[in-house]
Amino acid sequence: MKLKNWLDRSVKKLKDAGIGTARLDCLVLLTDALKKDKAYLLAHPDVELNPEIVKELNTHIVRRSSHEPLAYIRARTEFYRHDFYINKNVLEPRPESETMIDLLKSLCKVRPCKVTVDIGTGSGALGITAKLEIPELEVILTDIDPACLEVARQNAKKHKVNVKILQGNLLVPIYILNPASYILLCNLPYVPDSYEINRAALSEPKIAIFGGSDGLDLYRALFQQISNRQIKPRYVLTESLPFQHQELRSLASNAGYNQIKESDFIQVFENTV
């Protein structure tokens, strides 16, 4: 089968299934299968595809037509210009989370940072990216789910970074830290239980998406744990929906933190003690 024929047929199948990025998705799958860039594909529409490659591609199209995220089909995604392995045990890192890395870098320029903890790390994208962007950081990844930590471990190996990986509920596995240079990166589940999510997100682990009736149950637990700690982080960076920000400010304030910055989904809180 010629490349052009496969592309036309597959784009139609995805469009008929309601996939808004049908052509782009097909081109991405072709680049993976043929190890060629999009410019080559578009310039060589009459290339004959190997039958085994066609079989593999058709399997991917069936999965994508059911609205399975492209990142799960490819077993990889890009975050902050870095490539990460993912599977169905973890959420695909979202572009809005990249703002957290930008804010972390700005904080570390003003005041040297020593320890950063990625709470609820999932794939490890946030914490590993922090280590790649700020190599002098000591980075700790925590998650309650060992399946997530295995993905994070693979990504740490892939990027050849030395990070500590600990299993436990939020701050529970964290012990001795320097309070003057200790930062939390927190992208916890924050979608309210009744909130309608898109079909692609339905393929992702619900435990990593939904956070209770108003979406903030995990953040309440986190700030309660912080309140109970003698050694507290200097900064806490959180991600949530904009309409949740006022309630998060209240939770942080009760734990002794003031918001010092806000950008899109991300808030930065500083310890006032």
pLDDT score recorded for residue 114: 87
Q: Quickly list DSSP for 14-74.
A: HHHTT-TTHHHHHHHHHHHHHT--HHHHHH-TTPBPPHHHHHHHHHHHHHHHTT--HHHHH
SS3 call for 200: coil
> Beta-strand (E) ranges in 51-155?
76-79, 82-85, 115-119, 138-143
Q: How sure is the predictor about 174, in pLDDT bands with cuts at 50, 70 and 90? A: confident
Give the residue among 9, 59, 13, 8 at the shortest CA–CA distance from 32: 59
pLDDT score recorded for residue 180: 60
Main-chain dihedrals φ then ψ at residue 259, nearest 5 degrees: -75, 130
pLDDT score recorded for residue 167: 96
Question: Is the pLDDT score of 185 beyond 80?
Answer: yes
pLDDT score recorded for residue 98: 96
Q: How sure is the predictor about 177, in pLDDT bands with cuts at 50, 70 and 90? A: low
What is the pTM assigned to this prediction? 0.91
pLDDT score recorded for residue 192: 93
> What is the mean predicted confidence (pLDDT) over 161-184?
85
Eight-state DSSP code of residue 155: H
Tell me the two tokens of residue 95. Answer: 């572009």
> What is the mean predicted confidence (pLDDT) over 71-93?
94
**Residue type, position 245, single letter:** H
Question: Is the pLDDT score of 68 beyond 70?
Answer: yes
- Is 86 or 174 the better-scoring residue by pLDDT? 86
pLDDT score recorded for residue 211: 92
- As a whole number, the mean pLDDT across the chain is 92
Question: Is the pLDDT score of 175 beyond 90?
Answer: no
- Identify any residues that bridge with 84 across adjacent strands, giving them in sequence order: 77
Q: How sure is the predictor about 179, in pLDDT bands with cuts at 50, 70 and 90? A: low
Q: How sure is the predictor about 199, in pLDDT bands with cuts at 50, 70 and 90? A: confident
pLDDT score recorded for residue 178: 59
pLDDT score recorded for residue 176: 59
Give the residue among 173, 273, 185 at the shortest CA–CA distance from 230: 273
Question: Is the pLDDT score of 5 beyond 70?
Answer: yes
Tell me the pLDDT tens digit for each residue of 222-262.
999 999 988 889 999 999 999 999 999 999 999 999 999 99
Q: How far apart are CA 155 and CA 161, in angstroms?
A: 9
Tell me the pLDDT tens digit for each residue of 113-165.
888 999 999 999 999 999 999 999 999 999 999 999 999 999 999 999 999 99
